[in-house]
Amino acid sequence: MQGLVFGRLKNKYFTYMKEIMDVASDHISKYNWLISDYICNVYPSECIDPKKELAWIDGESLISLVNENDIQFIWAVFSAFPKSVTLQDVLKYRLPFADGNEAIRDVDIKMQNPLAEIEIIPWDSCLLVIIAQSSNLIRRLKKEYPDAIDLKTYNSSIQK
């Protein structure tokens, strides 16, 4: 398990998901995504509804959603699941959350849902945390964002 912490992106604001989707679209499109614990600047569709506690969306639709809307996720957890995993399977576990989740700062990195393969966590509009099983995704993001910090290194520094 590997992770990165982003203190800034190239464009717009810290949690502008379109930028991440552009860099990692091939990874994003091959999964179904659970979006939980979300607070947004706008709620552009019935999929991202402020009255609901979660959204379940395929990767292509997620890419379209962020491409077609100037949406900032202030808080959220995006969890990626293989297409063979159903929402019913996912809901056997606690919904992933960002706000107040101290486990994200643990040196021992792990997904909140054991069936997930990627977690993208916009953190209070000031950080973006990405955890992935795929070292290819982490390498690609690190190449695109050389200022991103290894999550274990970051978490070790704040533990002191």
- Do residues 63 and 27 touch, judged by C-beta distance below 8 A? no
Classify burial at 73, counting beta carbons within 10 Å of its beta carbon; exposed 0-12, middle 13-18, buried 19 or more.
buried
- Pick the range with the lowest mean pLDDT from 8-12, 28-32, 131-135: 8-12
Instruction: DSSP for 73-107, please give it.
Output: EEEEEEEEEETTS-HHHHTTSPPP--TT-GGGG-S
- Do residues 119 and 139 touch, judged by C-beta distance below 8 A? no
Which residues, in sequence order, are CB contacts of 73 under 8 Å at separation 6+? Answer: 15, 17, 38, 39, 40, 122
pLDDT winner (highest mean) among 20-29, 38-47, 80-89? 80-89
Q: Kindly state the tokens that stand for 54.
A: 């979660």
Q: What angle do CA 160, 138, 101 make, to 5 degrees?
A: 45
Q: Note the pTM of the prediction, 2 decimals.
A: 0.90
Q: What angle do CA 81, 108, 19 make, to 5 degrees?
A: 50
Residues paired with 35 in a beta bridge: 55, 78
Biggest alpha carbon–alpha carbon distance for the chain: 43
Q: What is the pLDDT of residues 99-143, one digit of tens each?
A: 888 777 777 888 999 999 999 998 877 788 999 998 899 999 999
